[in-house]
Structure 1
């Protein structure tokens, strides 16, 4: 393939984060082929040059790079199994989902047997970051494969960190998210202590944001009038803390993160469950 010819990219997973990522790719001039379970999910791309695949087999056959941005291991496996048989040797599959690192390693071995490479590249920054082109991409894979897909990542990222072989991106994402959850738990305790001491909340928040106690986790927690409002984010973080614990098992390196984060995340789940019960009664 001539370097001047941009690779055709397939994208599966047009959710709140994947959707803006796909739009950034096509708006950067890359040929883009989309597939979605619901036809309505393709409607926002009617004003772009993106094309729709008939099915996942069709998408795999048409693309040089297939990006997967679905929710979990089972979803990634389902898409992978459908696209791989149709893909040509020398093509690549990119996994943007946050899943178990061992799943990425297993999929990479299966793909390599037919000449297809796998790069794992979970992202951080959410839908707003994707739309702004400022996502952080945590990458695992062979250097040549990472170099080949980097121009795609550059359309929606502010930072691309290549951390090692396949699975390394997932490992980094899990540690990062466990750290985020632990920081939020510590921030929640700090705000509680400040309230118990009678400090003005708004003034205290501004103080910490400019002082040594600051963190992104603190800023997220401080923006929430009620911690129960973090329900969706807490579920995602709880999944990642669980995956990290499964990878490291009883390794002391993860014990503090897990033991700090889990009670906080479980409390949010309990508050949400209570709110749901109250809603059902009303």
Structure 2
């Protein structure tokens, strides 16, 4: 990394299943990284690292040239940003890795701008395995110069990193991606039920499809489930994202309707 990590003090907020390995990659890359979590237990996996442990969000802001946020909801992002941003230095950067409404990102970018802070919406795709391997896909929205400054940090955990336009553009693409996955899961569920109706052995059908032109990532995901209800947590997050896309496009939009209708069979089975 040509010692560029020594030039950056970083912070990270949100040590869940996706945020935790992202933070670990940043630490292992040599960035001086301060972590914040609601529970001290979340710090335990990092006790043997160079990580710093904040007692407040203000500590993270004062320490950091770059802060990553990976919390769950729009309200979580607002709560964190409203405390964090006033404590950050002018010229610092904030990357929102959460999947939220694009307008929330734009609101937080406006708040950050009053302090001279650059904000990038930077949702990710690939889950924990890709985060651990440093091969996450990053979908970026923001000022090109701000993105360029943050790129060394992003490269510590990202593989494919794409700049898509202004703040909010990353969220647009992430919502489309997740909604397509949920719709594809619905189509897979329809095919499996069709096979049941025809008396086809389900395990044999799945094995065949996984080696045929009908293969998809959604089929791979579904093949690992005993039934859709085992994906209740992941399904709930995808439904949240489908609803957000509907809000962005408008519930009467044809794209939103098609994706919603295609998803329904899997969504119904997962509830």
Short-chain TM bin: over 0.9
Q: In the alignment, is the contact (CA less than 8 A) between 1:6 and 1:31 conserved in 2?
A: no
TM value normalised by structure 2 = 0.95
Instruction: Describe the superposition over 1:206-247 as per-residue Cα deviations: whole angstroms up to 9, x where unpaired.
Output: 221222211101111122121111101110001000000000
Cα shift at 1:57? 0.7
Residue number in structure 2 paired with 1:261: 263
- Alignment-derived partner of residue 89 in structure 2: 88
> Where in structure 2 are the equivalents of 1:92-241 lying within 5 Å?
92-241=93-242
Whether the 8 Å CA contact 1:53–1:59 is kept in 2: the answer is yes
2:7 is paired with a residue whose SS is coil
CA contact (8 A) 1:238 1:262 kept: no
User: Aligned partners of 1:130, 1:73: CA distance in 2, in Å?
Assistant: 22
Deviations 1:87-115 (A, max 9, x none): 11110111001110000011111111220
CA contact 1:9–1:31 (8 Å) conserved in 2? yes
Q: 1:47 to 1:3 in 2, by over 3 A?
A: closer
Query: What's the secondary structure of 1:114's corresponding residue?
Result: coil
Q: Deviations over 1:132-156 (max 9, x none)?
A: 2121111111111111112111111
Corresponding residue number in structure 2 for 1:275: none
How far the C-alpha of 1:4 sits from its partner, in A, is: 7.2
Q: Tell me the CA shift for residue 263 of structure 1.
A: 4.7
Partners in 2 of 1:213 and 1:66 — Cα distance?
Answer: 41
Aligned partner of 1:246 in structure 2 is: 247
Cα RMSD for the two superposed structures: 1.4
Shift of 1:3: 5.7
Large movers: runs of 4+ above 2 Å: 2-6, 200-203
Tell me the TM-score normalized by structure 1: 0.91
Q: Is the 8 A contact 2:34 2:52 kept in 1?
A: yes
Match of 2:98, SS state, is coil
2:8 match:
7
Gaps of 5+ in 2: none
Task: Tell me the matched-pair count.
Answer: 268
Distance in 1 separating the partners of 2:114 and 2:135:
35
Structure 1 unaligned blocks of 5 or more: 270-282
Indicate the SS of the match to 1:102: helix
Q: 1:99 to 1:4 in 2, by over 3 A?
A: closer
**Displacement after TM superposition at 1:54 (Å):** 2.4
- Contact 1:224 / 1:230 at 8 angstroms: preserved in 2? yes
Q: 2: distance between equivalents of 1:165 and 1:179?
A: 22
Q: Indicate the SS of the match to 1:164.
A: coil
Q: How far apart are residue 253 of structure 1 and its match?
A: 2.3
Residue 273 of structure 1 corresponds to none
